[in-house]
Amino acid sequence: MSSTTGALWMPFTSAGGSRPPVVVAGDGNYVMTDDGSRLLDATAGGVACVILGHGRAEIADAVAEQLRTLEYQCLFGYSHPRARELAEAVADRTPGDLNHVFFTNSGSEAVETAMKIARGYWRRVGQGSKTGFVSLHRGYHGMNFGGISVGGLTENRAGFGPLLEGCSQVPAHDIDALEQELAYRDPSTIAAVIMEPVQAAGGVYPPPEGYLSKVRAMCDRNDVLLVLDEVVCGFGRLGHWFGGHRYGVVPDIMTVAKGLTSAYVPMGAAIASSRIHEGFVDPEGSIELMHGYTYSGHPAACVAGLKVIEILERESLVDHSLQTGRHLQERIHSLDSLPVVAEVRGEGMLAAVELAAESPEPLVAEAQRRIQAAGVLVRAQADHLGIYPPFTFTATEVDQVVDTAGAVLGELS
Ligand SMILES: Cc1ncc(COP(=O)(O)O)c(C=O)c1O
């Protein structure tokens, strides 16, 4: 059977299904498809990553200039000025003493790196039995083997086992369940607890107030590291630079990607606290963390990241995300009263509208199609519509998204 996408084998897409839409250009908060549609992009590039909106020539120009100056030189002892500058700029904005930035190419690699740092740390400080991980049901931590082993979306694991040993999940946001799991598994076997500040891909589930602080305290009591996966929440999505700021916790290791470069160039990072980093430093000069990727800290990505931070601050976009996020939450919750809506959830510039049906996927797909036909791009995902606009969205654009979704969901009710 031939594929509807030719030679292109697309991620998370049926090769035998209907021809997927092709996006050919982006401009501010809009994208253009090859059938001539111009769509208000309430998904920030589909997966909450183009936080500054599309078509920023200033980022493209900076990347082009960097490529003309130095296209690559990263690994095995060599660095370049932009990598150092971006690491400093990121470290200056992270909560607490998360001061040591290890660059990767994606969120999935950031998670693998964080897991290796966690295991490596305990080995270096003489507690090599601490190799396990505890994470949450519904959590998403990327698609590499470490990430699917700690991920709580079982469909992402099915068919790929055996997975990494020593990983277990507990019900999300249930502090007693986490405590019991740590006791049951014995903290002397656990390297880290890993979770997202707000569970994003799993359906946008914000934690109850106080939950993350309790997790932090529990990790401290049990001498277990806390890894916060901020691939979606980081760089302003919750109206604060990081989810750690929003919820008042400082993890031992944090992972980022997406907003780090606003997806103009692929990049992620695992960011470790001073305590974790000091556990590795070897004055004798041997390589302490035998880990890295050819393109860790690629100059083009570093320049994009520096531009993103400059623009976020020049245009006060983290604060704008806070204000617009409040408006989004206020407006989107008005959809709660529609019969077809099971639940509306959200925090900041991140929202999900879960639909009520015995098997919701076809209904969600139909709602997405009709909303798109009315000029607005939202994401259809399992049982919900995902809404995560660029931070450059205006209140009027938020209204357009909610009004369009409301009209369609009203028709489907
Ligand atoms: C919380 C979280 N972690 C990790 C990842 C994986 O990032 P990537 O797709 O860049 O590998 C994602 C992607 O959506 C994510 O949401």
What digits encode the pLDDT tens for the residues 22-81? 999 999 999 999 999 999 999 999 999 999 999 999 999 999 999 999 999 776 778 899
Residue 169 lies in a domain: yes
Give me the pLDDT at residue 364, please: 98
- Between the CA of 107 and the centroid of ligand 1 the distance, in Å, is 4
Query: Do 237 and 97 belong together in one domain?
Result: yes
Q: Is residue 39 part of a domain?
A: no
How far CA 224 is from CA of 190, 207, 252, 291, 395, in Å, comes to 6, 20, 10, 22, 42
How is residue 75 annotated by DSSP? S
Instruction: Decide: helix, strand or coil at residue 351.
Output: strand
Ligand 1 in reach of 172 Cβ (< 6 A):
no
- To test the ligand 1 pocket, which listed residue (235, 258, 267) has its Cβ within 8 A of the most ligand atoms? 258
Contact between 367 and 298 (Cβ < 8 Å): no
Residue-level pLDDT at 79: 86
- What pLDDT sits at residue 287? 83
- Please tell me whether residues 229 and 355 are part of one structural domain: no
β-pairing verdict for 253-256 and 268-273: antiparallel
Does any domain span residue 283?
yes
Q: Which two tokens stand for residue 268?
A: 């992620």
Q: Which of 274, 295, 314 is the last residue of a domain?
A: 314
User: Residue whose CA is closest, atom 13 of ligand 1?
Assistant: 142
User: Which is the closest atom of ligand 1 to the Cα of 142?
Assistant: 6
Q: Is the minimum distance from the CB of 108 to ligand 1 under 6 angstroms?
A: yes
Q: 59-62: long-range contacts (C-beta < 8 A, 24 or more apart)?
A: 59/262, 59/264, 59/304, 59/307, 59/308, 59/311, 60/264, 62/303, 62/304, 62/306, 62/307
Distance of CA 110 from the midpoint of ligand 1 (Å): 9
Q: Which of 329, 318, 193, 313 is nearest to 245 (CA)?
A: 318
Tell me the C-alpha distance between 262 and 62, whole Å: 14
Q: Are 169 and 112 part of one and the same domain?
A: yes
Task: Tell me whether residue 67 is in a domain.
Answer: yes
192 touches 252 (CB < 8 A): yes
196 in contact with ligand 1, CB cutoff 6 A: yes
Contact 401, 329 (CB under 8 A): no
SS (H, E, C) 125-151: CCCCCCCEEEEECCCCCCCCHHHHHHC
What CATH number did the domain enclosing 389 receive? Answer: 3.90.1150.10
Span from the CA of 285 to the centroid of ligand 1 (angstroms): 33
Residue 196 alpha carbon, nearest atom of ligand 1: 1
Assess if residue 277 is contained within a domain. yes
pLDDT at 286: 85
What range does the domain containing 358 cover?
316-412
pLDDT, position 413: 87
Residue 259 Cα to ligand 1 middle (Å): 11
- 265 and 116 in a single domain? The answer is yes
Q: From CA 349, how far away is CA 322, in angstroms rounded?
A: 8
**C-alpha to C-alpha distance for 347 and 354, rounded to whole angstroms:** 15
Given this model, what pLDDT does residue 1 score?
57
User: 107 CB less than 6 Å from ligand 1?
Assistant: yes
Helix (H, G, I), strand (E, B) or coil at 170: strand
Owner of token pair 């009004």:
403
What's the gap in Å between 288 CA and the centre of ligand 1?
26
Choose among 122, 198, 137, 197: nearest CA to 167: 137
Report the candidate in 142, 187, 146, 143 with the shortest Cα–Cα distance to residue 164.
Answer: 146
The residues with which 377 forms a beta bridge, in sequence order, are: 41
The residue whose CB lies within 8 Å of the most ligand 1 atoms, and thus the one to mutate among 231, 256, 350, is 231
pLDDT in tens, the chain (413 residues): 578 888 999 998 888 888 888 999 999 999 999 999 999 999 999 999 999 999 999 999 999 999 999 999 776 778 899 999 999 999 999 999 999 999 999 999 999 999 999 999 999 999 999 999 999 999 999 999 999 999 999 999 999 999 999 999 999 999 999 999 999 999 999 999 999 999 999 999 999 999 999 999 999 999 999 999 999 999 999 999 999 999 999 999 999 999 999 999 999 999 999 999 999 998 888 888 999 999 999 999 999 999 999 999 999 999 999 999 999 999 999 999 999 999 999 999 999 999 998 999 999 999 999 999 999 999 999 999 999 999 999 999 999 999 999 999 999 98
Q: Atom 3, ligand 1: which residue's CA is nearest?
A: 141
- β-pair partners for 253: 227, 272
Total count of domains within the chain: 2
- Position 250: which residue type? V
Residues 93 and 229 reside in one and the same domain: yes
SS3 of 176, please?
Answer: helix
102 with 198, same domain?
yes
Domain annotation covers residue 231 = yes
Q: Measured from the CB, is residue 113 less than 6 Å from ligand 1?
A: no
Q: Considering only CA atoms, which of 235, 162, 229 is closest in space to residue 202?
A: 229
- Tell how strand 350-355 and strand 384-387 pair up: antiparallel
pLDDT digits (tens, 9 = 90+) for 222-236: 999 999 999 999 999
pLDDT, residue 180, reads: 98
Q: How far apart are CA 135 and CA 181, in angstroms?
A: 10
Are 328 and 294 within one domain? no
